[in-house]
Amino acid sequence: MKMLMIVFRESIAQQIHALLKTHGVTAFTELQNVSGRGETGPTLHFSLSAGANRVILAAIPEQLAYQVIEGLTRYRNEQVQQQGEDAFPLHVFVLPCEQVI
């Protein structure tokens, strides 16, 4: 099992949700209005601002995790190509995951 931590701007939430649904990911935890600073700059601190971040945590089987990562990578690459910039507000982290309770 793997834990995906997907960090992205509020403005692309609909696309991220659609991608997860396409891959059959139906169970996850989502944190909204998350602030921080990274390669795409600081996030805004206004409630549900398009410039705020969201974080999705999804504990899923390893094979599915890598399929989702492939889909998110493809989406990110398409957006980078369309925008002509290297930085895009989507990051994915993979952690080992073991359910204990």
- pLDDT single digits (tens) 61-83: 999 999 999 999 999 999 999 98
Residue 61: per-residue pLDDT? 97
CB 76 within 8 A of CB 88: yes
What secondary structure does DSSP assign to the chain, as a single string? -EEEEEEEEGGGHHHHHHHHHHTT----EEEEEE--EETTEEPP-STT-TTSEEEEEEEE-HHHHHHHHHHHHHHHHHHHHHHT-S--SEEEEEEE-----
The residues spanned by each domain of the chain are 2-96
Q: What is the pTM of this model?
A: 0.86
Residue 39: per-residue pLDDT? 62
Nearest to 10 by CA among 36, 28, 83: 36
- The third-level CATH classification (topology) of the domain covering 2-96 is Alpha-Beta Plaits (3.30.70)
- pLDDT single digits (tens) 22-65: 999 999 999 998 877 666 655 655 555 557 899 999 999 999 99
